[in-house]
Amino acid sequence: MGKALIIGAGGVASVAIHKCVQNSEVFEEICIASRTKSKCDELKAKLDGGKTKITTAQVDANNVEELIALINEVKPDIVMNLALPYQDLTIMDACLATKTHYMDTANYEPEDTAKFEYKWQWEYRERFEKAGITALLGSGFDPGVTGVFSAYALKHHFDEIEYIDILDCNAGDHGYPFATNFNPEINIREVSANGRYWEKGEWVETKPMEIKRVYNFPEVGEKDMYLLYHEELESLAVNIPGLKRIRFFMTFGQSYLTHLKCLENVGMTSIEPIEFEGKQIIPLQFLKAVLPDPASLGPRTKGKTNIGCIFKGKKDGKDKTYYVYNVCDHEACYKEVGSQAVSYTTGVPAMIGAMMILQGHWNKPGVYNIEQFDPDPFMDALNKWGLPWQENFNPVPVDEYPSEEDTKKVLETELV
Ligand code: NDP
């Protein structure tokens, strides 16, 4: 059916590439291109021999001219951007210049400011429309599947959604005292920033990790979770009409938080360059170099992830709640594609997003967030390609579990 140029050969790309190869009817040909070509060649060596034809290339995705030359050579139907958020705009520029469809899993973030937002990519709308090509933004899990879940809830279960809580639980244990499950630089930038949620048309800012809840996740059990700002809040607040509040919670273990606090206190999470032995270094990038490579966590990680959305709103004039989630097992993911569940839950939706465009379900010219498309073919594909979802029409709301009293008790216990 089509040809994809995949940029990046890290944790997420590796899963997406495994899935493209499993789905050779749609992905007849793929070219894997990244900064370090040997990683692309390793993936090719592992996966060659099936029906999907695989080629590899070296590219610096910060360089638009290099990207244009590569796209002109490979002539893909779509570019799958699975590099880092810093490369989003250069890759979009190259797609515009070559009239090629684009997709990614994370919104643009300038390398020198920890400020990720959609405004830069939304500015490309008119140009993509005029060029007759589609840009699909945020086709991972969160953002990604959480947006598809929202569109699905609105289409099938509600007349109006008033409240959304996105709950991201990773109960995986890799046995290290401190490691991040995906790119440490991106991960730490995300969790050390202020929290933020959207209520009654306004953003409410919190200190990092200021708001804590405890939740009993299906198939996982009780976990502490903290309110964070997460990029899909920005687009869902705009794209779900009538929304009164949207929040995002992520689980963290106490050991992770204690290490992070300590690293922050000594300045290791800073993105301000410092001089070290006559050389400018960025502490956070140095920290990334000393931490375990997320790809190496795969064989060590046990346990499950549970990511989903709880919706509250109105149907036929009555109050209604609905929880839709996916549970993913780290060891099962590793057995299937050689990666843990965090890369798996992002790489599978990346393949599905590209498939939606290649199959023609989602190709309308312009720049779109994932919730702006028909969720049904994507929801079907989740069940087929390894991320089956489950529903609960009577979930315990986040603020009711456990009672305020119990939460206070948990906090007091920690202080002792
Ligand atoms: P990794 O660090 O494992 O991989 C990034 C890849 O991009 C590496 O192969 C790297 O090359 C390559 N790369 C970096 N810079 C360039 C460049 N200038 N030119 C070409 N290639 C480059 O990251 P992950 O796989 O964990 O994450 C990939 C993306 O997925 C990120 O944008 C991340 O934010 C996003 N993500 C999204 C999630 C979601 O649910 N939506 C969840 C998790 C991640 P090299 O090998 O040389 O370093």
- List the chain pLDDT tens, one digit each, 416 residues: 899 999 999 989 999 999 999 999 999 999 999 999 999 999 999 999 999 999 999 999 999 999 999 999 999 999 999 999 999 999 999 999 999 999 999 999 888 776 778 999 999 999 999 999 999 999 999 999 999 999 999 999 999 999 999 999 999 999 998 998 777 877 887 788 899 999 999 999 999 889 999 999 999 999 999 999 999 999 999 999 999 999 999 999 888 889 988 998 999 999 899 999 999 999 999 999 999 988 788 899 999 999 999 999 999 999 999 999 999 999 999 999 999 999 999 999 999 999 999 999 998 999 999 999 999 999 999 999 999 999 999 999 999 765 555 555 554 445 43
CATH number of the structural domain spanning residue 58: 3.40.50.720
Q: Is 146 exposed, middle or buried (0-12, 13-18, 19+ CB in 10 A)?
A: buried
Decide if 148 is inside a domain: no
CA distance 209 to 194: 8
CB 13 near ligand 1, within 6 Å: yes
Decide if 42 is inside a domain: yes
Decide if 63 is inside a domain: yes
Mutate which of 39, 170, 183, 309 to test ligand 1's pocket (most atoms within 8 Å of Cβ)?
A: 183
CB 106 near ligand 1, within 6 Å: yes
CB 321 near ligand 1, within 6 Å: no
Decide if 410 is inside a domain: no
Decide if 132 is inside a domain: yes
Decide if 240 is inside a domain: no
- Which residue type sits at 288? K
Q: Mutual orientation of helices 376-384 and 145-156 as an angle, nearest 10°?
A: 120
| Ligand 1 centre distance from Cα of residue 186 (Å) | 9
Atom of ligand 1 nearest to the CA of 83: 7
Question: What does the angle CA 150 – CA 343 – CA 295 come to, to the nearest 5 degrees?
Answer: 165
CB 84 near ligand 1, within 6 Å: yes
Print the domain residue range for 50. Answer: 2-137
As for how many domains the chain has, the answer is: 1
| Ligand 1 centre distance from Cα of residue 298 (Å) | 16
Of 173, 147, 150, 218, nearest to 401 (Cα)? 218
Decide if 51 is inside a domain: yes
CB 102 near ligand 1, within 6 Å: no
CB 140 near ligand 1, within 6 Å: yes
